[in-house]
Structure 1
Amino acid sequence: MLPLKTILYLALFLTAFFASIYKHPIIGVYAYLVTYNINPLGQWWGRFLPGFATRYAMLLALAIGLGVLFHKSKLRFGRFFEGQELLLISFVGVMWLSIVVGQSGGMDYNIDKMTKVLLVLLMASHVITTKRYFEGMIWVFVICGLYLGYELYGGAGSMRGGRYQSGVGGSDFGEGNFLAAHFGFVLPFVGVLFLKGGWKVRLLCVVAAAFIVNAIVITLSRGAFLGLAVGGVMAVLLSARLSRYRGKIIVLLIVGLLGGLYLTHDGFWYRMTSIQAVDGERDLSAQGRLDAWDGAWRMAQDYPLGVGVGRFFNHIGEYHSHIAGVDTHNTYLRCLAELGFHGFAILVLMIFTAFFMLWQIDRRASELTPERANFFHLYAYATKIALFVYLTAAMFVSSVYIEEFYWLLMFPVFLKRALDNEFLDAATEDNLSKVAKSAQLNNLKSHV
């Protein structure tokens, strides 16, 4: 007999699957993100799932696709492709091209994976097009972050050398540094929900933030530490536009800093200080990263078109034999080495476009009433901070083929389409108001 948690998960999964098809594809998008975050197969109850349920990502992607097809009249988007979407298509195209121009033939798993990610994101970007759907997505990340943080607090996963190593979270970020980067980009959205919400929402956000920060400390991730430091500085600098919330933002940052300091310990600070240690004092992990970065740069110079997706491991030993077969531990250099200067240029352009779109969203939202504009100012702000956190952490992990990186880069597209629809809704309401006033005036005239 199946465990109760397995039965409950199956019931929820099947409900989401059919609801995505018959009610609205946004349900499938949320379910997809939940399973992506928690990785059912990594849970103890996931071992009892029937065979069909182990392909949860493919099934939910299918449900989203069918939902989009059946409910296309309900979808609200303007241009079919935004520039960011075209860049993402081009980036995945470069991955396919690397099969031909790379140094080792054959199809790498990550090409297939990123093609599927592209399809899911293109569907999601045509579904998450309203304020309600966007904030629903944010809640999925926050609730899942609370769940994962609670798992780490309860001792889940494996430890090595006094730090969390792996075993919690989605397959893309089950390893400590990746999980810490994931938590880092979720935190700014927890802060915005706190600023926007009532006391119940704020209480939930405080609990979520506590478990998430504690989980980051457990990972002892230097990349996440630097990312949060950069994010904190940028949160203060960029808060100038949010005059209504600036004081609260600074208070939240101070409280968060004090809470984080309370959760740290001597081992945490010893590892953090090794970031800037001189040659003789660096630990093996830090020195190995520097050697991998040097090898990646030299590899890119030797192979300007890239060595091909997943081929860095095959070539790094040619530059530093003692780290043969290891990763770059750097998103940008991994991209440069495997996808060449042209692939790297597209990635940089996607990052730049994300920030440019957020700036445009901020500027255009100011044309709305303060009540309507507030939503977009806050979430554009949170997305900028999340990008700064994640892009900094990405200097210490290889996120080139990590799905959530591209979800974050697509947040501005979701927000932009939601803003477009907000303008349409505002115009419709304004017209209805004018019609109502005109009818009221005509009634008065008729009585006269």
Structure 2
Amino acid sequence: MSKIALVFLMVFIVGVIATFTYSGASSFILYQFVYFLNPDFRWWAAEIPGISYSFIASILMLISLGIGYRKYSTLAPWKELPAFKWIIVLLLYHYLVYFWALNPAVHYQFTFQFTKLVIIVLVAYKLVNSPRILDISIWAYLLGATYIGYLATSVGRGAGARVEGIGMADAPDANDTAAALVPAAVFLMYYAWMGNKKVKLLCVFCGALIANGLVLINSRGSFVGVVVSAGLFLLYMMFSRYQKEGQRAMAVFIIIIGISGGLYVADDQFWDRMRTMENVEDEGESGSQRINYWMAALDISKDYPLGAGIYGFNFLSDIYLAPEYHGGEGGKSVHSLWFQGLSEVGWPGTGLFVIALFSLFRLSRKAKKWVLESDDNASYFKLLALECALLGYLAAGSFINRFRAEILYWMILLLAIGINVYFLQRRKAKVAVSKAQDDVMPNSLTPNYTKEPSR
């Protein structure tokens, strides 16, 4: 048995045991671990039992929630996060679109997968209910992303000057795989800033492999996503009025290290591909032709305002695109999560998704304001990092079909958990303490009018 297969089995067994002996949140960490290692599609899959490891981890999550439902509901009630309500409505709308979808069988298949994803997110929100477990979950994601970077480094580029075939179950394409690595940049910056020396060294190690993986995969959208998320976080570090000692110096140091490391790992093939983003004249080599796809999606939305069903754009692409863009057995993809949603679930579905994001960021803004009033700058920047991670993935997803991507909803989940553990839980505890004090104080301060006044 190979070392990787042996490590996988050992970690999986430890995760199962930890779920029942340590914390139910261990089942979600195990789920993350299985997602990135994707054992069913690795070369060492033949050396391990042929069972559905992801399904087992999901069942463990449900069992954990069932066993401690009362405790988890107290710590993390769903109703306090309006975004979850809108995501559930979006899921229900997917089932409604089934009745007029162009390909009902395909639509139902992917809607069922989306249902499982939404359930995982809702359950994980309750299980991951403390800052420490949130950190563990983020690190589980980072280590998974590091493994993908390691695979890209080991495999190297293929004939198409890109790394293919190292992705996850829902992200087999190179662009999809690269997008999953985008949020790692801002998380690594945060922990490199806030962590001790060992954590800083670990961040450097993980960052090197992830950065090299992104360069080898050669995804333009992911490059944009990293620039958006990391750039925004660094701007806040440098120019925010909420500063700690050495904060600006650390931001400058991160910029220098990041640029130096990026220039070191980036090769000519990477820069040649990045330059195609501005090459508007040669649409065959650039990403500019995607604008034509997006305009076609708008045309589809006029004829199918309620959505054409999942893969609706692919089925209609030869009708709405010019002949020079035709080709491909399954039709053309729209290459944008926003226009993907518009063509598949129409204006209502896309609107529900936007409302969910808006409500989440609105509550996150309240959370950041509250922690600042408590002089907790560390929590403020933690929430900011979670926001930037989500924004970075949305930026990368603007150029690929990722409307129902696993990592997209993980980033929504992690931000929701951050809001809960740093704002909702603490505010609730503060209110409870204030109420308890109000109940006690009148007994000692209120005059006793039952006694007859002295003469």
TM bin, normalised by shorter chain, reads: 0.7 to 0.9
Distance 1:50 1:305, change over 3 A: same
- Quick one: distance in 2 between partners of 1:432 and 1:250? 47
Alignment of 1:181-200 (within 5 A): 181-200=179-198
Q: Number of residues paired by the alignment?
A: 424
Compared CA separation, residues 110 and 21, structure 1 to 2 (3 A): farther
**1:260 aligned onto 2:262:** yes
Shift, 1:319, TM fit: 1.4
The residue number in structure 2 matching 1:439 is: none
SS of the residue 1:159 aligns to: coil
C-alpha deviation, 1:377, in angstroms: 1.1
Contact 1:110 1:310 in 2 (8 A): no
- Residue equivalent to 1:213: 211
Matched, 1:43 2:49: no
Shift of the alpha carbon at 1:392?
Answer: 1.2
Distance in 1, Cα, partners of 2:54 & 2:2: 22
CA RMSD of superposed structures (Å): 2.5
Residue 179 of structure 1: CA displacement? 1.9
CA distance in 1, matches of 2:395, 2:95: 27
1:353-364 matches, within 5 Å, as: 353-364=359-370
2:251 & 2:357 partners in 1: Cα distance? 25
Q: Is the 8 A contact 1:35 1:170 kept in 2?
A: no
* 2:279 and 2:286 in contact (8 A); partners too: no
- CA deviations on 1:29-88 (whole Å, 9 max, x unpaired) are 100011112211222222233232xx1121111101111111234424254322011111
Q: Distance in 1 between matches of 2:266 and 2:242?
A: 31
1:99-132 deviation per Cα after TM superposition (whole angstroms, max 9, x unaligned):
0133343343210111001111110011112101
Does residue 275 (structure 1) correspond to residue 277 (structure 2)? The answer is yes
What is the deviation of 1:299?
A: 0.9
For 1:286, the equivalent position in structure 2 comes to 287
Instruction: Return closer, same or farther for 1:252/1:171 CA change in 2, 3 Å cut-off.
Output: same
- What SS does the aligned partner of 1:163 have? coil
C-alpha offsets along residues 117-165 of structure 1, whole Å, 9 cap, x if unaligned? 1111110011112101111111101112222212211226x6232122x
| Unmatched segments (≥5 aa) in structure 1 | 434-448
Query: Within 5 Å, which residues of 2 pair with 1:327-346?
Result: 327-346=333-352
C-alpha distance in 2, partners of 1:8/1:259? 30
Query: Separation in 2 of the partners of 1:350 and 1:247?
Result: 36
CA positional deviation for 1:17: 2.6
Q: Residue 377 of structure 1 aligns with which residue?
A: 380
Contact kept, 8 Å, 2:33 with 2:140, in 1: the verdict is yes
Corresponding position: 1:389 with 2:395: no
TM-score by length of 1: 0.88
Match of 1:408 in 2: 411
CA offsets per residue over residues 174-221 of structure 1, 9 Å max, x none? 322122212111110111111111111100101111111111111111
Helix, strand or coil: the match of 1:398? coil
In the alignment, structure 1 residue 62 sits paired with structure 2 residue 64? no
Q: CA deviation at 1:4?
A: 5.2
Q: Which amino acid aligns with 2:304?
A: Y
Partner of 2:171: 173
Give how far 1:308 is off.
0.7
**Structure 2 gap segments, 5+ residues each:** 438-455
For 1:254-281, what per-residue CA distance to the aligned partner results, in whole angstroms no more than 9, with x for missing partners?
32022102221222222111112132x2
Residue 94 of structure 1: aligned partner: 93
Between the aligned partners of 1:40 and 1:285, the Cα distance in structure 2 is 35
For 1:6 and 1:233, locate their aligned partners in 2 and report how far apart those are by CA, in whole Å. Answer: 38
Query: 1:136 matched to which residue of 2?
Result: 136
The C-alpha deviation readout for 1:328-353, integer Å capped at 9, x for no partner, is 11110010001000111111112222
Aligned partner of 1:114 in structure 2 is 114
Query: In terms of mean alpha carbon deviation, does 289-298 or 421-430 score higher?
Result: 421-430
Scaled by the length of structure 2, the TM-score of the pair is: 0.86
Could you tell me how far apart the structure 2 residues matched to 1:111 and 1:127 are?
24
Q: Would you say the 8 A contact 1:149–1:211 is kept in 2?
A: yes
Indicate the percent of aligned positions where both proteins have the same amino acid: 24
Equivalent pair of 2:37/2:168 in contact (CA under 8 Å): yes
Residue number among 250, 256, 259 corresponding to 2:252 in the alignment? 250
**How has the CA–CA distance of structure 1 residues 219 and 78 changed in structure 2, closer, same or farther, with 3 Å as cutoff?**
closer
